[in-house]
A and B are shown apart, each in its own frame.
Chain A
Amino acid sequence: MSEKPAEKTTSTKATETVKKVRAIVRGLYQNAREAKEKGQFTAYTMTACQYEEILNAMDIVPVWTENYAGLTAAKRDAERFVLKAEAEGYSNVICGYVRVGLGFDALRKEMGKTPENAPDGGMVMPDLLLGCGSACDPRFKWYQALGRYMNVPTYSFDVIWPPVDADLDEVRNYYIRYQREQFQGLVDFLERQTKKKLSHDRLWEAISRSNATWRKWWEVDQLRKAIPSPMPTEDHYNAMVPGFYCCGTQLAVDFYEELYNEVKQRVDNKIGVVPEEKYRLLFGGGLPPWHTMWIFNYFETLGAVFVMENAYRIYDPVEVPSHVKDPLDYLAWRTFLRWTQRYDMAKKRSGIATVERLLEYIEDYRIDGVVTHATKSCRATTVGQIDWLHRLNEYTNIPSMQLISDIIDVRDYSEAQWKAQIDAFVEAVEAHKRRTAR
């Protein structure tokens, strides 16, 4: 196998800053290998676990296993890992990320070394596996299953939030208390493993850097309301890397500062993604098709630009009360506030916070159409999409469409079918625009 992809899967980007991300990704895996050689602790990690700053403050080098799976898909080199996992008895409908990860580690165990020509040199053998109960079940089941292939200390903890119909005043305290205790349990585990104490000062510093990162990233997205769109969704799916996978580092802070400056300059000079932006689309949910990211460019050939997205979203800034002085309390508060954003609106209107966010984007970003991606192996981001679109239809009449494939598994993707569906959808968007312009 060669590291060079057999065919182009990635998208063409509009901004220069995001072109630096590929090197950052390469650096993630290289850094982890170097850290391991120097005796630093490395850990398999997942997004949305809210522990980035804790790891940063304790000098634990994360290896983001979902990112690695996405990377193999973008390289069209996921198949050997997926097939290996399936040969080991894992169902072909299990999360594509998980199948890549299990297949990778099964192969590593079998061969006694990193699978040959693994993209970006492969994932380092971790010292720790750190799962959580946030967002989806595979977030803790994946690392539990890895016990077949490695004998590595494993810890999982809950990241939990109330349902929309909860009385937040009634449940807030005990949800935050539990979240705080869950973070404390993680810290206790890490301190036992590394034999190092967590420095609260260092944790505050990491929190400060990550808040600055997310704030600047959020400001970038505010700029993206401009017409024409200065930065499309395909750029977001590169731009997300420092925010998710380098969170708490100065590199991430600097990256978004630079991205902000570039996007601002594009807005000021009305530089768009395509020469003539006819339709503004929202990528409404489901994870992106990492195996075929150029599909966003295909929309652009029809004059349709994805100006905003609702997957791997940044968290909007939240205001943790000033009386919170302990960093773990802060993280628990921040987690609660992040996950309960838009609950008030949801209670009054659609009943779903995600639908409220989509409605907000539709208005703020002047959206003409919504596209979701049903990913066959991801329950967490797919189940509910049809429902969201129904509810959206109660408050807006813009066209919507659901594309179906997978995050990883190219066997679930049909280029011809997608193109036909996209062509028809863009025609529907055009017809809708014409009708509403009358």
Chain B
Amino acid sequence: MMTTELKRTGLAGVEELYQRRGQRARELSEQGAKVIGYFCCYVPVEFFTALEMLPYRIQGGVNEPITEADAYLETIMCPFIRSAFDLALKNRYDFLDGLVVPHTCDTVQRIYDIWKYYRKPAYSHFINVPHMLQPSSYEFFKQELLTFRKSLEEFAGRKMTDEALTEAVRLHNENRALVRQLYDLRKPDPPLTSGVEILKTMVTGMGLPVLEYNELLRSVIREIRERGGGPGKKPARILIYGSVIDDISFIQLIEDSGANVVMDDLSTGLRGFWHDVEPTPDPLDGIVNRYLDKIYCPRTYRPQAETQEKDLDNRFGYVYKSAADFQVNGVILYVIRFCDTYELDAPDFKSYFQKKGFPVLYLEDDYSAGTLGQLKTRVQAFIEMIA
């Protein structure tokens, strides 16, 4: 396993790493580690860890105007992907040795060929992730992951043993458990930590080796518990549901408007940490089940239930449960424009939560700091309404 000296600890360490994104990956790259960029929560990061590579979750930059990507990408597509590719064109991802893209949605699928052609990473691989959850889908996905494993082994120049994979599963499960512990610190009222601190930690973790991330999480949890206090009691406790938020500005806006963000189900938040990989004799089986079935992104089709009510429970029930557990009194549905799967779910999601008694604010945003002013007015009105 990749073992390196952990230089940063606690919230100060998080702050430094958050402000200097990619810095740790860059350092490790300079020391000879292979760093592989990937999108979304559907790439089994255990594979990289088992081969002592660093998985780096690719981010965008809401504060960075898109200036280069316009020459390659249409404006009617996911602005997060446009932003990430814009950063790549500006050489901000020059520390990446490779790119792995899962077929999560139409736009992510498209960016694979484009990124590969114009950035020419030393290694690239595309994983087809079934949209369906029929028994044959699991077998297919296992075959896809075997193909991916073989391809990654060739790039690494060595085999991934089952022992190394099992150990990687253990480490990433530990990581998931630590993230859940961190999230639990917001269960009390007032919460012990803020949504901003949580998001900074999560974003920081996207570019760390799992051992370092686990150590960092332990230090952060310890510090928060020991310091007491926190953001203080506020009239509203908010859950945010959506895809990518990898900058604190929007969370900060909510927390400056009289609310605590106490829970999320975001692609960059808890979405990838709800469930562990179940240890199985063939470690790949546990990975297949977890990555295909246990990540609740709208891009996965959950087979129709007998009634509409049960169908909605199947799709959103886990969010409702966490909203209840965390005593939330308002839900923000944050959708990045042009994201078809979320946009097609939005009315269902909204009415589901409203029927359960939760006020919902549906925001369709452009993934740009430039829209914060408009969002602020709506967020403030929403918090005033629910407080």
Contacts and interface: CB of A to CB of B under 8 A. Distances in A.
A98 interface: yes
B177 to A, nearest CB: 32
B341 A137 contact: yes
Interface stretch (A155-163, A232-240, A264-272): A155-163
B140 interface: yes
Contacts of A383: 73-74, 76-77, 106-107, 110
B71 A157 contact: no
Contact of A148 (B71, B113, B147, B348): B348
A182 B337 contact: no
Interface in A76-91: 88-91
Contact of A141 (B77, B112, B307, B345): B345
A140 B301 CA distance: 7
Interface string B344-385: 111110110000000000101000000000000000000000
B113 A352 contact: yes
Nearest to A152: B304
A243 B386 CA distance: 55
Interface stretch (B17-25, B34-42, B126-134, B205-213): B126-134
Given A137-B299, A138-B340, A379-B77, A390 B72 contact: yes
A175 B74 CA distance: 31
A377 B76 CA distance: 7
Interface residues of A, number: 57
A302 interface: no
A385 B75 CA distance: 11
Given A174-B143, A384-B110, A163 B344 contact: no
Interface string B292-315: 000000110100100110010000
A27 interface: no
Contact of A90 (B77, B128, B131, B347): B347
Contacts of A136: 106, 340
Contacts of B299: 137
B340 A137 contact: yes
Interface in A96-122: 98
A170 interface: yes
Residue among A98, A162, A163, A385 with most chain B CB within 10 A: A163
B241 to A, nearest CB: 15
A182 B78 CA distance: 29
A160 B129 CA distance: 9
Given A133-B130, A178-B139, A387-B114, A144 B107 contact: no
Contacts of A98: 344
A135 to B, nearest CB: 9
A331 interface: no
A399 B299 CA distance: 37
A153 B126 contact: no
Contacts of B1: none
Interface string B60-103: 00000000000111101110000000000000000000000000
B278 interface: no
Given A137-B299, A165-B124, A383-B107, A156 B132 contact: yes
A147 interface: yes
B137 A376 contact: no
B311 A147 contact: yes
Contacts of A431: none
Contacts of B2: none
B156 interface: no
Given A91-B346, A162-B128, A383-B74, A181 B114 contact: no
A347 to B, nearest CB: 12
Contacts of A387: 72-73, 113-114, 117
A318 to B, nearest CB: 20
A386 B73 CA distance: 6
A142 interface: yes
B106 A154 contact: no
Given A90-B346, A138-B340, A380-B106, A182 B132 contact: yes
Interface in A151-207: 151, 153-158, 160, 162-166, 170-171, 174-175, 177-178, 181-182, 185
Contact of B344 (A144, A166, A181, A185): A144
Contacts of B343: 90-91, 93-94
A157 to B, nearest CB: 6
A95 B304 CA distance: 22
B362 A158 contact: no
Contacts of B112: 163
B116 interface: yes
A391 interface: yes
B112 to A, nearest CB: 7
B244 interface: no
Nearest to B307: A151
A382 interface: yes
B274 interface: no
B301 A133 contact: yes
Contact of A374 (B76, B132, B147): B76
A37 B124 CA distance: 54
B136 interface: yes
A383 B304 CA distance: 30
Contacts of B105: 137
Contacts of B316: none
Residue among B73, B76, B105, B139 with most chain A CB within 10 A: B76
B338 interface: yes
B144 to A, nearest CB: 8
A351 interface: yes
A158 B74 contact: no
A145 interface: yes
A141 B307 CA distance: 17
B71 A386 contact: yes
A181 B137 CA distance: 9
Nearest to A91: B343
B136 A181 contact: yes
Given A154-B304, A157-B132, A158-B130, A145 B114 contact: no
A170 B73 contact: no
A379 B347 contact: no
Contacts of B346: 89-91
Contacts of B344: 90, 94, 98, 137-138, 141-142, 144-145
Contacts of A170: 147
A137 B105 CA distance: 7
B147 A171 contact: yes
Residue among A155, A166, A387 with most chain B CB within 10 A: A387
Given A144-B344, A151-B308, A379-B106, A91 B337 contact: yes
Contact of B337 (A93, A380, A382): A93
A94 B345 CA distance: 11
Contacts of B130: 133, 158, 160, 178
Nearest to B81: A383
A-B residue pairs, 10 tightest by C-beta: A181-B136, A89-B347, A178-B140, A133-B131, A141-B344, A163-B126, A174-B143, A91-B343, A154-B304, A383-B110
26 contacts: A88-B347, A91-B343, A91-B346, A94-B344, A137-B105, A140-B301, A141-B298, A144-B301, A147-B304, A148-B351, A158-B130, A158-B131, A158-B137, A163-B126, A165-B124, A171-B143, A174-B139, A182-B132, A351-B113, A351-B117, A382-B77, A383-B74, A383-B106, A385-B74, A386-B73, A387-B73
